[in-house]
């Protein structure tokens, strides 16, 4: 059953990548990996307009520069230089499209979603998304300007 689930996740990731337009992001310190593509669906222009009460698909294709048994994601909104945590459905990267253990020089497709809660204020903010390896090094770290709107 686990193999079937992994296959379905992989096929969904590939389908999303085929129809996706990657967004322009800023790397903020990916030391244990190299980001190839960041896709937020739907986001066609910057800043990405994120509507309250909706959820957005996040797909990151990256190459690992290390090996790791685990990976953990953290998402923040940077407002005035202060990181404010955003909740995501699953912080475990090994359950978000990545088959662990992570191997050096392999390409991975990280898949998650960013729910925008109705109680979030309507504001411009920079989203910072990190995926850390077992040694707390960034497999990837990217930033992207967004506008939270009603």
Spell out the domains of the chain, with CATH numbers in brackets: 2-149 (2.60.40.770)
pLDDT in the model for residue 21 = 66
- Report residue 16's pLDDT band, with 50, 70 and 90 as the boundaries: very low
- Distance between CA atoms of residues 45 and 49, nearest Å: 8
Torsion angle of alpha carbons 38, 87, 96, 34, nearest 10°? 40
Task: Specify the DSSP class assigned to residue 117.
Answer: -
Segment 83-94, tens digit of pLDDT? 999 989 999 999
Segment 102-124, tens digit of pLDDT? 999 999 999 999 999 999 999 99
Helix/strand/coil for 17: helix
Segment 18-65, tens digit of pLDDT? 445 688 999 999 999 999 999 999 998 999 999 999 999 999 999 999
pLDDT in the model for residue 12 = 37
């Amino acid at each position: 059953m686990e193999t079937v689930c992994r296959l379905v996740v992989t096929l969904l990731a590939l389908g999303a990548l085929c129809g996706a337009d990657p967004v322009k992001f800023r790397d903020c310190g990916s030391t244990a990996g190299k980001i190839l593509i960041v896709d937020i669906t739907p986001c066609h222009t910057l800043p990405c307009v994120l509507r309250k009460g909706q959820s957005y698909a996040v797909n990151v294709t990256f190459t690992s520069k290390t090996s790791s048994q685990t990976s953990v994601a953290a998402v923040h909104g940077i407002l005035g230089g202060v990181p404010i945590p955003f909740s995501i459905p699953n912080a475990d990267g090994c359950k978000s499209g990545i088959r662990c253990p992570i191997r050096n020089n392999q390409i991975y497709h990280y898949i998650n979603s960013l729910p925008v809660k109705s109680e979030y204020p309507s504001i411009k903010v920079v989203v910072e998304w990190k995926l850390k390896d077992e040694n707390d090094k960034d497999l990837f770290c990217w930033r992207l300007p967004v506008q939270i709107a009603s």
